[in-house]
Amino acid sequence: MQGKMLGMILLALCFAVPALATTKVSMDVSNLKNQEINVKCINCHLKENNSMVQQWKNSPHAAGRDGAVACYNCHAAEEGEITGYMHEGAFIKTIQTPRDCGFCHEREMKEQQVSHHAAAGQILASADNLLGEIVCSMEDKADAANGCWQCHGSNLKVLTDDAGQPLKNAAGAVMLDPMTYPNSGMGRLNPDGYAGTCNACHSKHSFRASIARQPDNCGKCHLGPDHPQIEIYNESKHGIAYRAASREHGMNGMNIMKSGQWVLGKDYYFAPTCSTCHMGAYMKPDGSVVQNTHNVGDRISWTLRPKVSVKLNRAIFSDGTEKDIPGDIAPQPGSLVKYSEFKMVQDKWKAVPVEKEAVDVWSWEDRRNNMKGVCKQCHGTQKVDSFYTQFDSLVVTYNEKFAKPTQALYKMAGEDGLIHDSDFHTELGWYWWELWHHEGRRARHGAAMGGPDYTHWHGLYDVAHNFYFKFIPELMHLAEQKGMTEKYEIAVGEVLARPEHSWYSQGFNADIMEAIKKEQKERYKQ
């Protein structure tokens, strides 16, 4: 039956299949019993879910070199799996996790499990989730379930009875908490302990890599006021080139994404997408190929997400685990590295102190050089190096001029009792939150991805306006209410006395103002 199953799916095979609890044997596409179960599944679902079967029929799985990979191969459950149940004579599960995909795609699964994507579910320990679960929701956490968790991932829960046994519906399927499923969030916390779901990018049931390579695929989550990567990409020369290639070559984006093994400089050259830069394979000058990666952080040298950006090094430990370690200087191989590891304890993430020996280290320079290798497929060395000079200068400007001073003043306000509880209990907290979480991220991502409008007008322009005309006035207002005006005048004055803030504290000098007036008169006849 190998290679012929597509021809058999139209046969009306209605035979009975004996009960079968499975192990890895279900992944054997040449196993006749597996093939029989697959055919039975396909014939039934042709009636129930025809479009789903058609998606599979036109997928790489259906055209497998060693035989078609079909329903039972992936959906079989092992004895004891909490999500497993008996269905039409076979022990299966509807929930797939990276563990299942890892039977065939082991390297990709291992890379994904230590990636930033797999850690996305740790939002459950963050202020972002506090907004979704409490500030913007009622008891059922509807905003978080429909919003935050759909990208970051839910803590997928199986409903159980008083004895702790899984509840089942009328069809015999294990019942999942409807506020945690359906969910294909990138960092979904699965009952088997694995993080994420591959169909977050590889849409089921086609699972095509070409779909995952589309910019729109990343844009499902990477968009909006706090991380508008897809908008920035569309604004950038890269995004323009991608759309132009679709028109000029008479190809749609999907065809571009299908080019051979999709090695940049070998199979395609049209334009880069998100996947090209962060994950894709590329040619080296000697003709060898740098392998693609499913760890999207491999080529990231700055973290642009937190309040203050830091350089990122990666430590690989003797037990096979990996961890991003911040710092301008990378830890040395063989040294003991201390860090905090998030662990789920009773549905809550908690930071647990950890110390491990690093057997290997990727410095932030190593990671940057990985990205430069991609850049140099299309750009010269001087251009690439100068780009990073500009990018670094923007990140340092954000850090030193705005983020660090604001963070220090906000911390001081908390210690003095000017604010209380979370960031969201005071106007000052909201100003600080939006300065780094929205405006500061936009500026940094804009510079990183070649989006000048997001760098300035949606970025540092908003940061500056917030800092000078919202955060500082509100801080002084709170200080006055607490009788601490003099103390905060000194603290704020020390910040504004720095050279980078002289324009605000002292005004523009006469030469600058005269030049502006002259330009206005000449250009606008004013």
Region 479-494: mean pLDDT is 98
Residues 505, 433 share a domain: yes
* Section 114-118 average pLDDT: 94
Do 474 and 501 lie in a common domain? Answer: yes
- Could you report the per-residue pLDDT of 413-466, keeping only the tens digit for each? 999 999 988 899 999 999 999 999 999 999 999 999 999 999 999 999 999 999
What pLDDT, on a 0 to 100 scale, did the predictor assign at position 250? 55
Range of the domain at 77: 1-94
Long-range contacts of 322-328 (CB under 8 A, 24+ apart): 322/114, 323/356, 324/297, 328/364
Among residues 237, 266, 292, which one ends one of the domains?
292
Q: Are residues 413 and 483 in the same domain?
A: yes
Same domain, 348 and 459: no
| pLDDT value of residue 308 | 98
Give residue 252's pLDDT: 52
Q: Which of 1-5, 9-13, 82-86, 378-382 has the lowest mean pLDDT?
A: 9-13
DSSP 8-state code for residue 460: I
The confidence score (pLDDT) of residue 512 equals 85
The domain boundary residue, chosen from 327, 352, 373: 373
385 with 515, same domain: the answer is yes
Pick the more confident residue, 245 or 254: 245
Q: State mean pLDDT over 282-301.
A: 94
In a domain, 365, yes or no: yes
Interior angle at CA 387, CA 386 and CA 391, nearest 5? 115
Tell me the average pLDDT across 366-382.
96
**Same-domain status, 232 and 315:** no
Give the model's confidence band at 17: pLDDT under 50 very low, under 70 low, under 90 confident, else very high. Answer: very low
On the CB side of 266, how many CA atoms lie within 13 Å of its CA?
17
Q: Are residues 366 and 418 in the same domain?
A: no
- Average pLDDT of 179-205? 95
Domain boundary among 351, 373, 395: 373
Q: In sequence order, which ranges of 139-197 are alpha helices (DSSP H)?
A: 142-143, 149-152
Same domain, yes or no: 394 and 462: yes
pLDDT at residue 522 in the model: 87
pLDDT of residue 21 exceeding 50: no
Q: Would 286 be classed as within a structural domain?
A: yes
* Pairing verdict, β 85-87 and 289-290: unpaired
pLDDT band at residue 83, thresholds of 50, 70 and 90? Answer: very high
Asked whether residue 322 is assigned to any structural domain, the reply reads yes
Report the predicted TM-score, pTM, of the whole model to 2 decimal places: 0.91
CA gap 313, 323 in Å, rounded: 8
| Lowest pLDDT segment from 71-75, 296-300, 319-323 | 319-323
Helix (H) or strand (E) holding 266: none
Domains identified in the chain, total number: 5
Structure-model confidence comparison of residues 270 and 33, the more confident one = 33
CA-CA distance, 118 to 189, in Å (whole number)?
9
Residues 286 and 337 in one domain: no
- The residue with tokens 């579910």 is 121
State mean pLDDT over 107-130: 89
pLDDT tens readout for residues 125-136: 788 888 999 999
